Amino acid sequence: MQSYRVGTRAAPGHPGAIGPRRDGGARPFRLAALALALFVAACGPAELPTTIEDPYEAQNRQTHEFNRSLDRTVLRPVSRAYGSTVPRPVRRAVTNFSDNLGQPGVVLNDLLQFNIADAVHNSFRFVINTTIGVGGIFDPATDFGIERRDTDFGETMHVWGAPEGAYLELPLLGPSTERDAFGRLVDIAIDPLGNLLPRTEEGAIRVARILARFDDRYTYSEFVDEILYQSADSYAQSRLLYLQNRRFNLQGGRSEQYLDPYEDPYADTYADPYAAQ
């Protein structure tokens, strides 16, 4: 539920400053990331694990407590203020705008996955919402039957055969895995709009994306509060739900490994590591 992008930029005139083309300092990282990804592409889709790999649990739990504290003191109260004072149509428009800005990156990942059908689908969605939807403020594409089909570079690496890796909880960003954490970095580096728009527009994009996350926190407040503040072990619960949902989505919503989150979360495949010995 927590998703923020943090970046730094050198002062104008500094040798490391990013100029109007915005492709100098970041280009080596992009090329290295893509080279690594292409190397991984030689493999087929990765097998989905049926167990939880968490060798960094001690550090992850510390990060989880930091994220819970941040949510309690900042994210939850700010999202409540935002959701209770800003009318829903305005919040919906901001979220639509933010989602539409991410569509070019989704299309790029579709192409990297050789998923031409979804690339065409998402391209049409972006064009329709950018034009008829006034820059993405409205979502006529969904009304036309062109629904959202999200993907990211973490899924691209899964398609290419990269293993999931260990579970990670990231500061501010929340639950992830080693593969998905690297995928987030690559998504930022190869984001088409982020690398083409001027700095002034980039600032507006960041604000829209942050507000969209506050809207998500407000919309799903009961569900998030139940996990973070009412669970006997909020870390284990959030870890389990994230991995279930992620693996389920990577199978296109058809995975037999998917577990009903309303059933016993430690039944069958997943053993309860906290059960009394």
Secondary structure class of 148 (helix, strand, coil): coil
Q: How far is CA 122 from the centre of its chain?
A: 17
Mean pLDDT in residue range 48-65: 95
Angle between helices 103-112 and 178-190 in degrees, nearest 10: 120
Closest of 223, 230, 268, 275 to residue 79, by C-alpha: 223
Widest distance between CA atoms in the chain: 63
- Burial of 235 per CB tally in 10 Å (0-12, 13-18, 19+): buried
Q: Which tens digits make up the pLDDT trace of 200-254?
A: 677 788 899 999 999 999 999 999 999 999 999 999 999 999 999 999 999 876 4
Residue 43: the pLDDT is: 57
pLDDT band at 4 (very low <50, low <70, confident <90, very high): very low
Q: Would you say 177 and 246 are in contact if contact means Cβ atoms under 8 Å apart?
A: yes
Cα–Cα dist 12/27, whole Å: 19
The 10 Å Cβ neighbour count of residue 273 is 11
Mean pLDDT in residue range 7-13: 39
Cα–Cα dist 118/203, whole Å: 29
- What does pTM read for this prediction? 0.74
- In eight-state DSSP terms, residue 168 is E
Q: Would you say 228 and 220 are in contact if contact means Cβ atoms under 8 Å apart?
A: no
63: phi then psi, degrees, rounded to nearest 5: -65, -40
- Cα–Cα distance list, 242 to 133, 167, 235, 246, 247 (Å): 32, 10, 11, 6, 8
Mean pLDDT in residue range 92-97: 96
Domain residue extents for the chain = 52-250
End-to-end Cα spacing for the chain: 33
Cα–Cα dist 89/95, whole Å: 10
Mean pLDDT in residue range 25-31: 51
Beta-strand relationship, 174-177 and 167-170: antiparallel
Residue 191: the pLDDT is: 84
Secondary structure class of 169 (helix, strand, coil): strand
Q: Which of 114-128, 168-182, 194-208, 229-243 has the lowest mean pLDDT?
A: 194-208
* Lookup: tokens for 12: 């104008």
Closest of 208, 169, 166, 162 to residue 183, by C-alpha: 162
The 10 Å Cβ neighbour count of residue 256 is 6
Q: Check pLDDT > 70 for residue 159.
A: yes
- Cα–Cα distance list, 105 to 8, 68, 79 (Å): 21, 30, 26
Q: What is the percent of the chain with per-residue pLDDT over 70, rounded to a whole number?
A: 73
- In eight-state DSSP terms, residue 48 is P
Q: Would you say 178 and 166 are in contact if contact means Cβ atoms under 8 Å apart?
A: yes
Q: Check pLDDT > 80 for residue 13.
A: no
